Amino acid sequence: MLKMHPFIQNIRSVVKEAGDKILEVYNNQELFANIQHKADNSPVTMADIESNKIIEKALTDLYDYPIVSEEGENITYEVRKNYERFWLVDPLDGTKEFIHRNGEFTVNIALIEKGLPIWGVIYVPVTATFYFGIVGEGAFKQVGEGEIEHIFARKNASDLVAVGSKSHAKPEETNFFNSVGVKKIVSVGSSLKFCLIAEGNADIYFRSGPTMEWDTAAGQAILAAAGGQVYKDIYANEVFSYNKTELLNGSFLAIADTQILN
């Protein structure tokens, strides 16, 4: 039986607690209805805020690394550029999916070292599913308290499956999928798209529109640990990196096997 890395075990407890708080809001109509909007008009709920409180406190108590979080303090690049290793957190990824009540939202925590995610956990509160990966050691999945499963990105696929955004799909993404011979496109919310590729149920995900660094870091760590990777463009020339001057992401390509592009 696979055993969980002590580091992962600690963070697993953190995301489980955060996920339980998210579900508490999700299942309470009065709390759920308390939806606000940020300056960029993106929604924020009580679940985002309460989850962030739990994660930031727990990570601060456990490890001496700085934290960059969607719902945390706005840390300037002048400060961040000196971070050799730091946590990158999305306390509720897929807030729109949360509001739509489709269950496709996650808790994301990644550890960034010298601009690259080296470790990540994604937790799906509605299904109590954990995905976690340590680059160089492997990627894993666990449902509830069940067995830990070693997961792998699939290679040499003949019938290519793409994943796309449920809330942000764009024609240029569909056009790219068609150009590489994708046979099926599955729409799914949040960072679950990375998880589907990491566990061998999809092959490719191209995002042309903007995201933020905390949206992608944990998924990239898990996918890289599973044998895939995330790149800066559709040619897979350069690995996607983090702690940029601005935390806004450009386009990226997540892929199980770069042979798909040949």
The region, left, alpha or beta by phi > 0 then psi within -120 to 50, assigned to residue 255 is beta
CATH number of 6-151: 3.30.540.10
For residue range 54-94, list pLDDT tens digits in order.
999 999 999 999 999 999 999 999 999 999 999 999 999 99
The pLDDT of residue 24 is above 70: yes
pLDDT confidence tier of residue 43, bands split at 50, 70 and 90: confident
For residue range 216-259, list pLDDT tens digits in order.
999 999 999 999 999 999 999 999 999 999 999 999 999 999 99
Helix (H) or strand (E) holding 207: strand 204-207
- Per CATH, domain 160-261 is 3.40.190.80: yes
Task: Give the residue-averaged pLDDT of 169-184.
Answer: 89
| Cα distances (angstroms) measured from residue 261 to each of 75, 236, 256 | 38, 8, 11
Q: How many CB atoms lie within 10 A of CB 98?
A: 27
pLDDT confidence tier of residue 9, bands split at 50, 70 and 90: confident
Model-level pTM greater than 0.85? Answer: yes
Map out the domains of the chain as residue ranges: 6-151, 160-261
